[in-house]
Amino acid sequence: MMKVLHVAAEIFPLVKTGGLADVVGALPQALIAQDTDVRLLLPGLPAILDSLADLRGLCDIGPVFGAARVQLLQARMPGSQVPVYVVDAPYLFRRGGNPYQDSSGREWPDNTQRFALLGWVAAHLAAGELDPLWQPDILHAHDWHAAMACAYVANHPPTPARTVYTVHNLAYQGLFPREDFHFIGLLARFTATSALEFHGQLSFMKAGLKFADRVTTVSGSYAREIATAEFGCGLDGLIRSRGAAVRGILNGVDYDIWNPETDPGLAANYGADSLERKRLCKQALQQAFGLEARPDALLFGVVSRLTAQKGLDLVLGGITHLLELGCQLVVQGNGDPALEAAFTYAASIHPGQIAVRTAYDEALAHRVIAGSDALFVPSRFEPCGLTQLYALRYGCLPVVRCVGGLADTVVDASEANLQADRATGFSFRDASTTALSIAVDHAVALYAQPERWQQVQRRAMAQEFSWNVAAQAYLALYRELLPPRPA
């Protein structure tokens, strides 16, 4: 059976800052369901150590990169029982905040060592040096946090494991002072521009892009986009040079968690055949957020990190128009203080029509998506995007910018698509308030025709973004890298 080690900094439901955690929580299980022997390697963050019940020591690694005591622990994920290795380095990982930042939003100053260590342990595990009983055929690293694993495998031959690196977001690159290289045990040749150097800094992202045997990203469109100057964040030349080694594999959805028929947190459960019950979720949402109880107002939702990526300034610009049309808006998002303040201000001058929660709240995210009629995802770029996929299943029609994974997953309710019963939402091209407002007009016009709106809802709810399909694509990619099986 093929053995695969997934390496990542976050995993739902233990530690989550975004969609990466959802993917790392679901993909290993989908691979296991297809007869693959999958294990995870995670950093020993407090939320991870506290949630893994049967933790036990596997080996003492000793001092590495300024962490006085590094141990490798073993456990299983609660619920799924997927086997997990944990890098326990108390000095580097046992602290508050999130995996990357302290509680006031500042990057941890020793992130070089923290995430180099994660990659270093992954590479040594892959080399068979840490667990005599298990050695992966494939080391699969997620985002810059785990990318150094690919450089350490290259730094540490001979390691039979082949490497796959998935870019969940090219904009977060893990850039550190070049001098930090002295702390992380790499040969000097790794600081060359042809290796990890990027405009005078050390780039962990480059470790994955350069040294992994295959690079994937989370949608076909984003795979094409990152090979262009517009979306390539200065790395498009390197990405183009990897040619066919770069692939797009669309994320899936864990429909055990995102299913309006069984979701335990909703005011009412509903499905495509009981859409009238969705109105109860809307009513509950209006009440919870202090909006006027207007069943017929088109209620737009937002569930998002508030960052420039997500294009929510376009929604801010469109608020006046939205209100003129009699619509309502619920925003659940946190992040950039300026965006938080702008939405909070909009809510304060339009009470009853606009409401904002600037908290990160998993249960509330489900209620916002269930209770809203439509969900804004007007991203400037979007590697895949998961909220629009969740919204589709909840019959909450996504209003998206036609970019990256959003372009690959939402079919605009154009007249032709409506006629062909293909439409699942609304999409627009320009990153402008005007373009967003035209999409809003379109949504309002369709909402005024309940039968047609419901037809689109039902089409949306029938979409299946299955992890099984994604897992098959990853398995095919892994097989390309392994020696052919004897006949």
Nearer to ligand ADP, 185 or 220 (CB): 220
Q: Single out the residue of 7, 8, 14, 23 in contact with ligand GLC (rule: CB under 6 A).
A: 23
Q: Which stretch binds ligand GLC (CB under 6 A): 128-136, 236-244, 384-392, 422-430?
A: 384-392
Cβ pair 141, 163 in contact under 8 A? yes
Q: Which stretch binds ligand ADP (CB under 6 A): 16-24, 264-272, 290-298, 443-451?
A: 16-24
- 247 binds ligand GLC per the rule CB under 6 A: no
CB 360, min distance to ligand ADP, A: 4
- 387 binds ligand ADP per the rule CB under 6 A: yes
Type of residue found at 265: G
Type of residue found at 94: R
- 424 binds ligand ADP per the rule CB under 6 A: no
- 141 binds ligand GLC per the rule CB under 6 A: no
Q: Single out the residue of 12, 13, 18, 180 in contact with ligand GLC (rule: CB under 6 A).
A: 18
CB 451, min distance to ligand GLC, A: 33
- 409 binds ligand GLC per the rule CB under 6 A: no
Task: Tell me which residue of 45, 180, 49, 155 sits closest to 101, measured CA to CA.
Answer: 45
**Which option in ligand ADP, ligand GLC, none does residue 334 bind, with CB closer than 5 to 8 A by kind?**
ligand ADP
Query: What binding mask, one character per residue, do residues 152-171 give for ligand GLC by CB under 6 A, x or -?
Result: ----------------xx--
- 404 binds ligand ADP per the rule CB under 6 A: no
CB 377, min distance to ligand ADP, A: 7
Size of the site for ligand GLC (CB under 6 A): 14
CB 263, min distance to ligand GLC, A: 20
Burial of 157 (0-12, 13-18, 19+ CB in 10 A): exposed
Q: Single out the residue of 99, 119, 252, 333 in contact with ligand ADP (rule: CB under 6 A).
A: 333
Q: Single out the residue of 7, 10, 14, 19 in contact with ligand ADP (rule: CB under 6 A).
A: 19
**Buried-state track 12-37, b at ≥16 Cβ within 10 A, e below 16:** bebbbebbbbbbbbbbbbbbbeeebe
- 332 binds ligand ADP per the rule CB under 6 A: yes
Nearer to ligand GLC, 335 or 405 (CB): 405
Nearer to ligand ADP, 30 or 67 (CB): 30
Task: Tell me which residue of 448, 426, 425 sits closest to 437, measured CA to CA.
Answer: 426
Query: What binding mask, one character per residue, do residues 190-219 give for ligand GLC by CB under 6 A, x or -?
Result: ----------------------------x-
- 44 binds ligand ADP per the rule CB under 6 A: no
- 221 binds ligand GLC per the rule CB under 6 A: no
Task: Tell me which residue of 161, 151, 141 sits closest to 482, measured CA to CA.
Answer: 161
Q: Which of residues 352-371 bind ligand ADP (CB under 6 A)?
A: 360-362, 365
- 382 binds ligand GLC per the rule CB under 6 A: yes
Q: Which of residues 297-326 bind ligand ADP (CB under 6 A)?
A: 303-305
Nearer to ligand GLC, 248 or 319 (CB): 248
CB 439, min distance to ligand GLC, A: 20
CA distances from 302 to 20, 96, 214, 373 (A): 19, 27, 34, 11
**Which option in ligand ADP, ligand GLC, none does residue 303 bind, with CB closer than 5 to 8 A by kind?**
ligand ADP
Q: Which stretch binds ligand ADP (CB under 6 A): 18-26, 38-46, 63-71, 288-296?
A: 18-26
Chain residues that interact with ligand ADP, rule: CB under 6 A: 18-20, 22, 303-305, 332-334, 360-362, 365, 384-387
Binding residues for ligand GLC, per CB under 6 A?
18-20, 23, 168-169, 218, 251, 382-386, 405
